[in-house]
Amino acid sequence: MKPPLLHPKTQKLLAALLEDLPQALIVTGKVGTGTFEVATHIAQTLGAHEEVLLPKKKSKDGKKFDVDIENGRVVTEDIRSLYDSVRGKQTSPRVFIIRKADRLMPNAQNALLKLLEEPSKNVYFILETYNSEALFATIRSRAQTLDVLPITAEQTNALIKDLGITDATRRIQLKFIAEGLPAELQKLVENEEYFNIRAERMNDARQFLQSNAYDKLLIIQKYQTSRENTLQLLDSALHITRHTVVNNPQHALITQLNSLLTLKEKIAGNQNIRLQMTEFALG
């Protein structure tokens, strides 16, 4: 697997970590920076096959859990099952990657903490998350953190070129949607349907910022059933607002930027999507 494209500062920190990998590592960053790619790269560098724990949701009959990366939670049962899995001497490295670790249920976080309190040689846990503050402070204190920074503008331009994009309009669109986000750029280029969805989301974000209260409520209705899509909408709104502030640093825009950041924190912290979005729209 090709090593992930990283900001030079992130690359330097990662190289240092790989020399003496901690038992628990939190890999965090903005959506699209490639946090999961970094986690799998670490596992492969150790010569280990990554074992990935994914968010799940109870099936309709309530008898089992089905993988649901978008809206699921990392369940306690999966963390507890690791006890048996890592019991005994491990002769080669084993790396457990917990995707969307901010969605660990409280009981699952307690179970994970017990694992971290009883470290096993050759066993490593990587917590991949876009919101490390959602993890218990006791877990954060027992883990090191790697912040995956967005790549530079120069790296972004080089990546778009390497991906074979020569059309000037498409290059501008890609940079506006995902500058600094290598994993997101790769996905946008490889998946035309996804590119269209992201372009629509960017347009919805612009409408959400500029339209009247009624139209804002219509957009909220469109997104309220998906936390991941809502967070992506807010990321797009933040991107638009930051870009506007750079060119026109008015007090009202800076206030709006801070309000959006607070709103995103609340949504990422599993607060009610419809309620929080509506309060913002009508505030």
Residue 130's CATH number: 3.40.50.300
Mean pLDDT (whole number) for 6-22:
96
User: Helix, strand or coil for residue 93?
Assistant: coil
Closest CA to 112 of 75, 145, 79: 79
- H or E element at residue 232: helix 227-247
Closest CA to 151 of 23, 272, 30: 30
- Choose between 188 and 72: higher pLDDT: 188
Q: Each residue of 50-104: pLDDT tens digit? A: 899 999 988 777 778 888 887 788 989 999 988 888 877 778 899 999 999 999 9
- What pLDDT was estimated at residue 1? 66
The count of structural domains within the chain is 2
Domain identity same for 45 and 120: yes
Q: Which residue has the tokens 């965090």?
A: 28
Q: Measure the CA dihedral 4/264/270/80, to 10°.
A: 20
Domain boundary among 148, 179, 206: 148
Q: What percent of the chain has a predicted confidence (pLDDT) above 70?
A: 100
Handedness of CA 206, 208, 214, 218 (dihedral sign): positive
Question: What is the C-alpha to C-alpha distance for residues 266 and 272, in angstroms, rounded to an integer?
Answer: 8
- What pLDDT was estimated at residue 90? 78
Judge whether 163 lies within some domain.
no
Q: Do β-strands 24-29 and 123-129 pair in parallel, antiparallel, or remain unpaired?
A: parallel
14 pLDDT tier (thresholds 50, 70, 90): very high
Q: Each residue of 236-277: pLDDT tens digit? A: 999 899 888 887 788 888 899 999 999 998 998 789 999 999
Domain identity same for 94 and 39: yes
Domain identity same for 210 and 121: no
Domain identity same for 127 and 38: yes
Q: Which residue has the tokens 């697997």?
A: 1
Judge whether 269 lies within some domain.
yes
Range of the domain at 239: 191-282
Residue 37, burial from CB neighbour count under 10 angstroms (0-12, 13-18, 19+):
buried
